[in-house]
Amino acid sequence: MLNAKVEVPRPTTISRDIREIFTIAREAVGKMLQTHPGRPHLCLDGWTFPNVISFLGITVHRLHEGKAETFILDFVKLIKSHTSVYLSQQLTTRLKVYGIKDKILDITAVNASNNSTFVRKT
């Protein structure tokens, strides 16, 4: 907007492009994780913004040719209370989408009272 020669895209164009890039990236990461011989590690972090909107961030980590690699698996908007059952459902859904539900080695999450139940249900 500081350069008059630059055409700023419409919000709908940006939204469409972000969704398309996410879909392409999801497919690529899913194929890469499904064919990888090792078992990936997950890290989860949930938080609530001051406007009371909650999210769950899911990252996946693997060793590939002796180097650690990290990918954002998903960023989930939470719409219910953060019970272990609900969080497990959200995570399980994403793992099924990526085709890696049975490949996970372990999960690291924040220190919360419902972590043990959450992991057992996932």
Threshold 0.85, pTM exceeds: no
61-120 pLDDT per residue, tens = 999 899 999 988 999 999 988 788 888 899 999 999 898 988 998 888 876 666 666 666
Flag whether 4 is in a domain. Answer: no
Beta strands in the chain (DSSP E): 41-48, 54-64, 67-78, 106-108
Q: Structural domain of residue 83, as residue ranges?
A: 11-121
Flag whether 3 is in a domain. Answer: no
CA 30, CA 89: separation in Å to the nearest integer? Answer: 19
CATH code at 70? Answer: 3.30.420
Residue type, 122: T
Flag whether 6 is in a domain. Answer: no
Q: What pLDDT sits at residue 111?
A: 63
53-77 pLDDT per residue, tens = 899 999 999 998 999 999 889 999 9
Give Cα separations from 107 to 18, 26, 44, 55, 68 (angstroms): 28, 20, 7, 17, 16
